[in-house]
Structure 1
Amino acid sequence: MTTRTGDLLAAARDRALPLVRALPDEALDAPTPCAEYDVRSLLNHLFHVVVGFQALAAREEADFSVTPDRLSVYGDAWRARFEKETELLVDAWAAPGADEGVTGSMNLPARTVGAMALLDLTVHPWDLARATGLPFSPHDEGLRALEELLSAMGPTARKTGVFGAPVPVPAGATAFEALLAGTGRDPRWSRPAA
């Protein structure tokens, strides 16, 4: 039986939220494994994804062309707001029929679009953890769904610049490290020395 997207997102949210709650304000300017993002801009990107994919679950359009600075808008309450938005994301994808049919301007299967949200909610917390030295581990069942997504969408994502070129998988790599390498991340990336 295939696990519903809402259940996979709930498990990913439950892994991501402790990390987000623990992020220190003084780390917001730190570099991340995503060269174009520091911690603050990556959090704003993740916020934007979480909100946009709520709309896609409801068969509404989402505009990803401009990323709002939600951390500035919400001030000291941004962590609580992120928690609320991820709850809304899970609820949207748990709604009856959310996994069925197609959604979004690319007219992709809804299950594929939901897996894209799952990818962001799994990989970006790792980026944040690596940038700040905090612990993070993904949910195993979600990883299996993401391996399927990477296999199906990886070439297109690389062509459009969403993923970087695959990184060689180190010997003894875990399934998660292989997934990270497939998205163009160095699974052994570490914070620059101070």
Structure 2
Amino acid sequence: MPPTKQELLAQSIDLVVGVVDSAPVYQYQDPTPCSEFTVKDLVNHIAMMLLMTRDVGSRTELDPSLLTANPVPLLAGRPESDWALLLAGKAGPAAKAWTEPAAWEGSASLGGPPMAAIALGEVLIAEFTIHAWDTAVATGQRIDVPTSLAMAAFDTYTREAPRMQGLGLLGDEVPQDADAPLFDRALALTGRDPRWSRPTR
């Protein structure tokens, strides 16, 4: 049986949290494939996503400061050496909030225009998966993205990339061969170059 959307979301969260846990703090100032983010910025962004995923799944009112705070309140005032552990502590609640069928019903929002909750959940799966890759390649880690997550990310961005580009959330697609690996094609849809590598020191 293919994994359910609830299982895919939990897998994507576990993937990104595991990569963040293995990212050395001394690399937090290094660049990432997201040109506007350092590794530190990306870890902060992932923390924000986990908190918002928890709240949206449970239909709790979002804290608007999460969209602008850097670092988010969860990490503020804490040494960067604690960030991975603090972030990991929010992984379970984020995934659990979407285990109820009601989380996937109706409409929901991450601070932007409301959209179908099932589509938003699919975007979260894709975004956590992509950010796991971002963090891994920025810190020199090997990452094996499960085929189920690669397929979920590709399907979601095939549908959502034009809308997200219009909102300024993604860059222009990077051309890829039709026979390129599925996850490379998913990355390309987000405006990322699958061949990106961190600068040599």
Normalising to structure 2: TM-score of the pair?
A: 0.87
1:94 aligned counterpart, secondary structure: coil
Q: CA deviation at 1:150?
A: 1.1
User: What residue ranges of structure 2 are gaps of 5+ in the alignment?
Assistant: none
1:103 aligns with 2:105: no
Are the counterparts in 2 of residues 12 and 139 from structure 1 also a CA contact under 8 Å?
Answer: no
Identify if the C-alpha distance between structure 1 residues 6 and 74 changes in structure 2 by more than 3 Å, giving closer, same or farther. farther
Greater CA drift, 137-146 or 77-86: 137-146
1:86 aligns with 2:88: no
Q: Within 1, Cα distance between the matches of 2:21 and 2:191? A: 27
Aligned pair count reads 194
Q: CA deviation at 1:172?
A: 5.0
Q: Within 1, Cα distance between the matches of 2:3 and 2:160? A: 19
1:138 aligns with 2:156: no
2:160 aligned counterpart, secondary structure: helix
Are the counterparts in 2 of residues 5 and 93 from structure 1 also a CA contact under 8 Å?
Answer: no
Q: CA deviation at 1:77?
A: 2.3
Q: CA deviation at 1:154?
A: 1.0
Aligned to 1:67: 69
Are the counterparts in 1 of residues 58 and 103 from structure 2 also a CA contact under 8 Å?
Answer: yes
Q: Deviations over 1:63-87 (max 9, x none)?
A: 3531331444332322111111111
Q: CA deviation at 1:141?
A: 1.5
Q: CA deviation at 1:2?
A: 7.6
Aligned to 2:190: 183
| Equivalent AA in structure 2 for residue 36 of structure 1 | E
Equivalent residues in 2 for 1:24-173 (5 A)? 24-62=24-62, 63=64, 65-70=67-72, 71-75=75-79, 76-104=81-109, 106-170=113-177, 172-173=179-180
Normalising to structure 1: TM-score of the pair?
A: 0.90
Q: Within 1, Cα distance between the matches of 2:101 and 2:78? A: 31
Q: Within 2, Cα distance between the matches of 1:118 and 1:7? A: 10
Identify if the C-alpha distance between structure 1 residues 4 and 99 changes in structure 2 by more than 3 Å, giving closer, same or farther. farther
Q: Deviations over 1:82-128 (max 9, x none)?
A: 11111111001112421112112622111111112112210111111
Q: CA deviation at 1:6?
A: 2.3
| Equivalent AA in structure 1 for residue 86 of structure 2 | R
Identity level (%):
29
Identify if the C-alpha distance between structure 1 residues 109 and 60 changes in structure 2 by more than 3 Å, giving closer, same or farther. same
Q: CA deviation at 1:147?
A: 2.2
